[in-house]
Amino acid sequence: MSELESLSREQIVGRFTKCLSIFFTQFTENPFSFFYEEDARAHLLVDLEKSIDAISEFPVDNQFKASIASPVTSSIVKGEYPNGYGGRFDIAVLLPNLAHSFYAVPASIGVEIKLGSEYIKSFSKCGGFKDDFSNLKLYHGTIEITERRNKWEKNN
């Protein structure tokens, strides 16, 4: 993996977009390759980790400082990453330069995946789309405010 500093935001977004496009093509050609939502998430997660190929350092929470030296090095692409609102992104691409804790790193990109069938009794036609969309919008607004505040603090 490469160090994050060698990649620009545009390169990360470009790699993400290309990987997502390939995934959509694979899904369109054979949706039955992904029996459950987890199959799709796992496939996309591995492809994004390989495609973005970036690691960074992350600070460790107080609960781990006694046993783990801070910072830790890890991929910026994570599955089931906390979104700060009690839920989790199916996949997140993190912004480690805004981190104060490995478990509370802001996400540059948040992905929610929905896959279901009308034959599954618990699957509604909306399938949670509205909730996921609302959470992504709310999260985007929070990140935008955080980024503006951090830029202001650097300049003042």
Integer-rounded Cα radius of gyration of the chain: 17
pLDDT at residue 152, rounded to an integer: 53
Output the CA torsion 40→55→100→142 (10° steps): -50
Listed ranges 43-52, 70-79, 103-112, 120-129; the one with the highest mean pLDDT: 43-52
Listed ranges 40-54, 103-117, 141-155; the one with the highest mean pLDDT: 40-54
Contact 22, 101 (CB under 8 A): no
The H or E element that residue 154 is part of is helix 129-155
Nearest Cα neighbor of 99 from 57, 69, 141, 149 is: 57
Banded pLDDT at 135 (limits 50, 70, 90):
low
Strand 2-3 to 54-58 pairing:
parallel
Across the range 29-56, mean pLDDT stands at: 92
pLDDT tens track for 73-102: 899 999 999 887 778 889 999 987 767 778
pLDDT at residue 77, rounded to an integer: 96
22-26, 48-52, 60-64, 107-111: range with lowest mean pLDDT = 60-64
Banded pLDDT at 35 (limits 50, 70, 90):
confident
Q: What are phi and psi of 48, to 5 degrees?
A: -70, -40
